[in-house]
Structure formats: C-alpha cells, structure tokens
Amino acid sequence: MLILRPTARRAWLARLRGGPGGRRSSGKHGGGALNTKPTPRVWERKKPRRKEHWRNKVEMSSQRGKIQTVLGLIKPSQLGSTLTHEHLTMSFSCCYYPPPPGQEELSEKSIEMKNLFWLKQNPYSNKENLLLYQETDAVREELLHYKAAGGGAIVENTTTGLMRDMKTLKHLAEETGVHIIAGAGFYVDATHSPETRAMSVEQLTDVIINEVLNGADGTDIKCGVIGEIGCSWPLTESENKVVQATAHAQSQLGCPVIIHPGRHSDSPFQIMRVLQEAGGDVSKTVMSHLDRTIFDEKKLLEFAQLGCYLEYDLFGTEFLLYQMCPDIDMPSDNERILRIRMLINEGYEDKLLIAHDIHTKNRLKKYGGHGYSHILENIVPKMLVRGISQNQINQLLVANPKQWLTFK
Ligand SMILES: [Zn+2]
C-alpha cells in the first residue's frame, strides 16, 4: 500500500515538476510536468490492451467531441451552466452515524421544523434524512427552479454502492429539460459488495466501460462520466483496484473522471499517483471535496500543479462538527469563495469547478435547505462582491465543465 511520507512526497513532487526548477511559470499552469505535452510522463503509462483498443474504436467514434447525457449525446455548446457534483436520487444509509449521547431518539424521528437546526449539525444521524431517493417530486420541482435560475446541466455523481437509479435520472431529464450526466464506477470500500471485491482490475474495467458504452444497471441508459470514484485514506485494496480500473477505462474511452478523496490532505496525491501510473489522464480528472481535504495553502498549490480539475463542491454545507472527521473544521461558503479567488489569482481559473454535493434530504428547499440553485442565487452575487469577475464565474460554471465533460 502506498503512503507517501512528507519527505517522499517532496521528492515525488520535485520529480513531477521536472526537478527543482520545474515550478510553473507565467501564472498559467502550463509549467508542471503533467501539464505540458512535450514533457515525458513521470510514471510509466500502461498501454491499453490492443484487442480492447480496437474493439472500442468504432463504438467510441460517436462519443468523441460530444457530451453523453442520460438522454443521449449533446454538443458541448448545448450544456450551459453546470453543477459538476450533485446527487438527485440516492441512499446514504451506508454512512449513518449514531447521534451524540442523549440524542438517540432523534435518529428515528421524521423530519420536523423544530429539528432542522439539529439536522443541519447532525445530517448523518437521522435515518430518514439519508434517503434522498424518496424525494423525486421535490427534486423535480427544484430542478425546474434551477433551470429558471439559469442552470443548464447537472453531473449526477451517484455510483454503484449508493443506489444509483438510471431510470429516475432519465425521467428527471425528460421532465425538466436539465441535462443530466450520470456516473459510472464504484463508491467507497464500505459499499463494495463481495462480488466487487472479488473482481480483478480487468473485470472492473469491463464493468465501467460497459456502463459508459452500453448502459448501467441493466438499462440502456449510458453514463457520461466515471465517478464519483470513492476513495478512503489510505486507499484500501479494493479501492486501489477500482482506481486502476478507472484509469484503464479512461485511457480507452477518453472520458471524464471524478474522484471522491479520503479525508486526509495526502489522499488526493496518493489517488492521482495510482491513477497516473495506471494510464489515467490527469488533465481530464476532477478531484472533488477539496474544501474539506487540503487546508494548507502551500500544499494546495502543490496539488494544483498536478494539472487536474480542482473542485469546491460543498457549497451550502456549514456546520460546527464534521461527523465524518471531527478534526476537520468545515469551511463556510465565504471561506470557499476566498479559496477560489486565491486559486484564480494563482492562475487556475481554467481548472476550477463548483457544486453543492446535495446528498441528504435536509439540503433540499423542501426541508429548509439551500437547494440546487444556491450557487446561482447566492454564491455568484457574493463572488462578484469579492472581486471575482462575471467572466471568471462563467469560466467556472460553463467553460470548465464543458471542457471536462467532452469526450476526447
Ligand atoms: Zn458526492
């Protein structure tokens, strides 16, 4: 298992940058070894098996240059303003946390007005709150509201392990006119079935490729992105295989990838290394949840140099104690905006993506939450106040998602 110690990480980063002088130049992130085409890759990329490469060549020709939604292929120009990390239907029962001592009875209670603040602080301790799949009507209404507010598309990150529901996603797209891009692959180890654990990297690769080329979960509805691929810190054996399979599938399909990292600042580095060594395309990969993962600015800029997309996708999540990892101080939306402004000033404007990662009921407007329009309605105006220009906001919401989601 690969765990990079600080000294090893520094050496590894130095190699990435092509030695001590490899720091990126001119404010744009073209100087990192992973970003420039003529620079050889640091890690050896394994070529896809020739037979598979040939097999997929014909099938892939239709996806190339297009974006694949649950209703079929669209031109990149049709996409519009896009939230790159949301969930519309899923179950998060895998991540139930017992309530704090003395509050046990609240775990079984149905959601009530008087419990909303408690629920905001303890979203994973109420069993009903974890069943987003029960709220299709509310989600449909919110998607219409999102569209009226200027929204065009949503990347639905629910993968195997979270009760992905391709048919519901298709219905929601038909009924609302919002483009929905579904995710292929597997969530974190805790949700891997014995069958998943028993699969080889090759078998996992075939499953993922099939979800993109032919359809997922026994339907003919196709995924347009791989992920969110669930990772823990450190990567478990099964997750390591899934990340390798993701890289193999991506190298054959030329498709976008999105990763959910473990809750440790070294986790994104570890995952990108495994992905890259297995032949993945870092420049077409999103690292999610950076808001709760890398706090140190220097380390964040080191990570940004790897050349992947940097996603701040927990907008709307503000609480005191993060149940998943009590040692993490969840940032506020104001702090997220300042982080994004810093990264724009450092030249990463064309690598930033934003979203809410709605995955529990209390985030919906129906339950007093912010809903899918929070970024368009509240965050964008505050970004303008903080000196992020409308052009830069358009880059984050329109241009970057379009670039990422288009098949190579
Ligand atoms: Zn998610």
At 153, list the tokens. 């598309």
Confidence class for position 56, pLDDT limits 50, 70, 90: low
The domain limits of the chain are 78-95+102-405
Confidence class for position 224, pLDDT limits 50, 70, 90: very high
Rounded CA-CA distance 138/158 in Å is: 18
Rounded CA-CA distance 46/66 in Å is: 26
DSSP for residue 186: B
Residue whose C-alpha is closest to residue 275's, from 324, 226, 315: 226
Binding-site residue positions for a divalent metal cation = 85, 87, 228, 260, 289, 357
Helix intervals (H) in 107-165: 116-121, 136-148
The residues near 157 (Cβ < 8 Å, ≥ 6 apart) are 85, 86, 87, 183, 227, 228, 258, 260, 288, 357
Confidence class for position 61, pLDDT limits 50, 70, 90: confident
Between strands 72-74 and 352-354, the pairing is unpaired
Contact 167, 96 (CB under 8 A): no
Average pLDDT over the chain reads: 89
Helix intervals (H) in 281-370: 297-304, 333-345
Q: How far is the CA of 272 from the centre of ligand 1 (A)?
A: 18
Query: In the predicted model, is pLDDT for residue 23 greater than 70?
Result: no
Confidence class for position 52, pLDDT limits 50, 70, 90: low
Rounded CA-CA distance 401/80 in Å is: 9
Digit-coded pLDDT (tens) for 159-169: 999 999 999 99
Angle at 19 (CA atoms; ends 13, 20), nearest 5 degrees: 90
Binding-site residue positions = 85, 87, 228, 260, 289, 357
DSSP for residue 219: S
Rounded CA-CA distance 138/392 in Å is: 31
Judged by average pLDDT, the poorest of 23-37, 74-88, 211-225 is 23-37
Report the number of secondary-structure helices (H) and strands (E) in the chain.
15, 10
Rounded CA-CA distance 211/160 in Å is: 11
78-95+102-405: CATH topology: TIM Barrel (3.20.20)
Digit-coded pLDDT (tens) for 247-256: 999 999 999 9
Q: How far is the CA of 86 from the centre of ligand 1 (A)?
A: 6
Query: What pLDDT is stored for residue 37 in this prediction?
Result: 35
Strand partners, 285: 257
Confidence class for position 60, pLDDT limits 50, 70, 90: low
Q: How far is the CA of 54 from the centre of ligand 1 (A)?
A: 33
Q: What is the mean pLDDT of residues 260-284?
A: 98
Q: How far is the CA of 37 from the centre of ligand 1 (A)?
A: 31
Q: What is the mean pLDDT of residues 180-195?
A: 98
Query: In the predicted model, is pLDDT for residue 25 greater than 70?
Result: no
Amino acid at the residue 121 = Q
DSSP for residue 83: E
Digit-coded pLDDT (tens) for 355-393: 999 999 999 999 999 999 999 999 999 999 999 999 999
At 162, list the tokens. 């979270």
Query: In the predicted model, is pLDDT for residue 215 greater than 60?
Result: yes
Q: What is the mean pLDDT of residues 137-165?
A: 98
Contact 322, 344 (CB under 8 A): no
Rounded CA-CA distance 317/47 in Å is: 41
Query: What pLDDT is stored for residue 189 in this prediction?
Result: 97
For residue 160, what are the CA distances in angstroms to 51, 69, 178, 193, 262? 27, 18, 23, 9, 18
Q: How far is the CA of 156 from the centre of ligand 1 (A)?
A: 8
Q: How far is the CA of 358 from the centre of ligand 1 (A)?
A: 7
